[in-house]
Structure 1
Amino acid sequence: MFQDRNIGCVECSQEFVFSADDQQYHSERGYSDPKRCPSCRAARRSQSGGGGGGYGGGGGGGGFRSDRPMFTTTCAQCGQEAQVPFEPRGDRPVYCNSCFSQQRQSSSY
């Protein structure tokens, strides 16, 4: 049985309550105890551009950041120039946006 605990934040040294419900949630998922208070966690998450794992982060991520480097390549299907957010290695075909969408639609049926 879990009980509410006070924990000191490593960022601001403020004490915060780690509730019994939160402890159970963390325990069920194998997470370690939090080291930062909720406001420092939120500030850290917003500085790192998302967070929480998954696709697009905790509701605030998603999309491409403007500081992400883009690479120019040639689409393997139509031959047009394409900008991609990764450096093509040459071992797989790389498609422009429209050809990539067509590839995804045709492979999902």
Structure 2
Amino acid sequence: MADKTLICKDCGKEFIFTEGEQEFYKEKGFDNEPKRCLECRRERKQQKNRDRNY
């Protein structure tokens, strides 16, 4: 397995899906690669948390 370059579906930036992250996803049984970069994943998570608090 090698690092993969993916494109974030929210911001359009390239990000690296490292070999270590791929192993983690495989161990957890995740079938799909991430669709968002780390920054967009964090922002989305914060937005969901803000929405829950209202």
How big is the shift at 1:25?
A: 0.4
Structure 1 residue 35 and structure 2 residue 35: aligned?
Answer: yes
Q: Which has the higher helix share?
A: 2
Match of 1:79 in 2: none
Match of 2:10 in 1: 11
Match of 1:48 in 2: 48
SS in 2 for 1:10: coil
C-alpha RMSD of matched pairs (Å): 1.6
Larger relative contact order (C-alpha < 8 A, sep ≥ 6)?
Answer: 2
How big is the shift at 1:30?
A: 1.3
Give 5+ residue unaligned stretches, structure 1.
51-63, 68-109
Match of 2:25 in 1: 26
Residues 1-109 of structure 1 mapped to structure 2, 5 A cutoff: 2-31=1-30, 32-49=32-49, 65=53, 67=54
Residue identity opposite 1:6 in structure 2: T
Runs (4+) off by over 2 Å = none
CA distances 1:45-80 after superposition (whole Å, capped 9, x unpaired): 000008xxxxxxxxxxxxx83x2xxxxxxxxxxxxx
Give 5+ residue unaligned stretches, structure 2.
none
Q: Percent identity?
A: 33
